[in-house]
Amino acid sequence: MTPLWIALGIVLLLGIAIVVSYNRFVAQRNQVRNAFANIDTELRRRYDLVPNLVETVRGYAGHERAVLENVTQARAGAVAQTGSPAEQAAAEGPFVAALRQLFAVAENYPSLRADQNFLALQAELATTEDRIQGARRFYNATVQAYNQRAQSFPSNIVARAFRFSEEQFFEIDEAVRPQAEEAPRVDFRAPPPESAPPS
C-alpha cells in the first residue's frame, strides 16, 4: 500500500469521526432543549394553578393582603422570564419563596385547610412540584452528559470548531410543600443533663 492511500485512509477515518461526533453533539443539544421544554411545560402548569390557589386563600384570609400580592408579583416575574435556564431558575426562587409563605399563612386558618377546593389545588400543586423536580433532574443529567462531552478530549475539538457551547443547569430551591406534608424531624440526641438546683 502506498503512503498516498494510507494518508487518504487516515483523512477519511478522521472525516467520518468528525461527522459522527458532530451529529452526536446535535442529537445531545436537541435532547437538552427537549428536556428543558418539559420543565417549561410543568412550570406553566404551576403558574396556571396559582391564581386559583390565591383566590381560594383570599376568600378565607383576605386581610393577608401583602402575602397574596407577593405571590401574584412573584408569579408575574417568573412567567415573564424567558431567558436562559439559569435566568429562569433565578426567577423561580422568589416565586417558590412566596408560595411557601402562602402555605404558611394557610396553616393559620383551619377552615381553609378543610376547604375541598383548597385541598384539591394543594394536591394538584404537589403533583406538579413532583413533576417539575423529575423534569429538572432529567434535564440536569442531560446537560451534565452534554457538557462532559463538550469538555472531554477529543470531542472538545469538534465542540469548539462547530461552536457547541456548554449548557446551563437548572437549579431552583426545593419544591414547595405545604407544612402538613413535611416529614417530622426526629432528634435522638440525649437532652443535656439538668444542673442541680443550688442548695
Percentage of the chain modeled with pLDDT above 70: 86
Higher pLDDT, 69 or 174: 69
Residue 179 predicted with pLDDT over 50? no
Give me the pLDDT at residue 193, please: 52
Residue 195 predicted with pLDDT over 50? no
The domain spans of the chain are 3-173
Residue 86 predicted with pLDDT over 70? yes
The top-level CATH class assigned to 3-173 is mainly alpha
**Per-residue pLDDT tens over the stretch 148-160:** 999 999 999 999 9
**Per-residue pLDDT tens over the stretch 108-158:** 888 888 889 899 999 999 999 999 999 999 999 999 999 999 999 999 999
Give me the pLDDT at residue 36, please: 96
Residue 172 predicted with pLDDT over 90? no
Q: Across residues 11-39, what is the average pLDDT?
A: 95
Q: List C-alpha distances in Å: 21 to 68, 134, 159.
A: 51, 29, 9
Residue 13 predicted with pLDDT over 90? yes
